[in-house]
Amino acid sequence: MAGRMNARKVLITGAASGMGREIARLFSAEGAALALLDRDETGLKGIAAELGAAGYACDVTDRDSVNQIVAEAGEAMGGIDGLINAAGILDITPFDDLDPASWDRMIAVNLTGPFNMVKAALPFLSKADAATIVTIASVSALMPMPGTAGYSASKAGAAMFTKSIAMDLGPNIRANSICPGVIKTEMTRYLWENPEHSERAADRVALKRLGEVSDVARAALFLSTEDSGFTTGTELPVDGGFSWR
């Protein structure tokens, strides 16, 4: 059924690539008006032109910039009733070797970034009849894996942040997070381009394959429509059956 996002006005961070870009494509196809944010200006211009959407160069860690751009985007669209926090970074490094600067950057992008976006968008979201917030967390938020101390901490924080604001912002704003497993994006290219690593990763999940960005986009669509109208404050694993094992 097409048109599930007709008349919706949605901000998407991390829209220049990967999961954010695929979410933007799906939401556009479903009728949403979009404001696309990313620090990658080249990629952002490409997807904005493809979809006929507004693109805003923005680093989600820069609070002043976020406040200015979200206000501008909200005014241009005539409101905001949906937010997708898809901007994220990954550094897989054993803790002994983890650079404190990398820790700080992951916390800033993966955790403080969603905080900045929600804070900036809240005046618009609060005026909407039924607003939604979806944050892309990670299966690493649900279970520990080697070399992911910084990444897991940032994503677990993002998931708990989303759960907590669901309590504060209901009933008119719903907030949920998605916890992807290994999804084929540029961030995980090192893994899925290596047949041996890819096969090992696929064998660890019940569905015996790696995830596609479309898998995450469809989950984001579900959590941004009335199909999930009685769902808030939850984490949805999109991991092929990995985190429950």
Give the domain ranges of the chain: 9-183+212-234
Distance CA 18, CA 81 (A): 23
Sequence-ordered strand ranges (E) for the chain: 9-13, 33-38, 54-57, 82-85, 131-136, 173-180, 235-238
Please write the tens of the pLDDT for every residue from 75-90. Answer: 999 999 999 999 999 9
> CA separation (Å) from 229 to 34, 130, 132, 147, 171?
21, 9, 10, 37, 11
Beta bridge partners of 82: 10, 132
**Is the model's pLDDT at 192 over the cut of 70?**
no
Tokens of 32: 């949403």
The band of 132, judged by pLDDT with boundaries at 50, 70 and 90, is very high
CATH hierarchy code of domain 9-183+212-234: 3.40.50.720
Span 128-157, mean pLDDT? 95
Average pLDDT over all residues of the chain: 93
**Is the model's pLDDT at 203 over the cut of 90?**
no
Is the pTM value of this prediction over 0.85?
yes
**Is the model's pLDDT at 193 over the cut of 70?**
no
> CA separation (Å) from 178 to 38, 55, 107?
19, 24, 18
As a whole number of angstroms, the longest Cα–Cα distance in the chain is 51
Distance CA 83, CA 10 (A): 6
Q: Give the pLDDT of residue 245.
A: 47
The band of 197, judged by pLDDT with boundaries at 50, 70 and 90, is low
> CA separation (Å) from 75 to 47, 72, 123, 124, 223?
21, 5, 11, 9, 24
Please identify which of the residues 27, 56, 103, 151 carries the catalytic annotation: 151
Span 215-228, mean pLDDT? 97
Q: Active-site residue 151, yes or no?
A: yes
146 residue type, one letter = P
The crossing angle, in degrees rounded to 10, of helices 41-51 and 18-29 is 20
**Is the model's pLDDT at 227 over the cut of 50?**
yes
pLDDT-wise least confident of 55-69, 72-86, 193-207, 225-239: 193-207
Q: Are 79 and 130 in contact (CB under 8 A)?
A: no
**Is the model's pLDDT at 205 over the cut of 60?**
yes
Greater model confidence, 240 or 215: 215
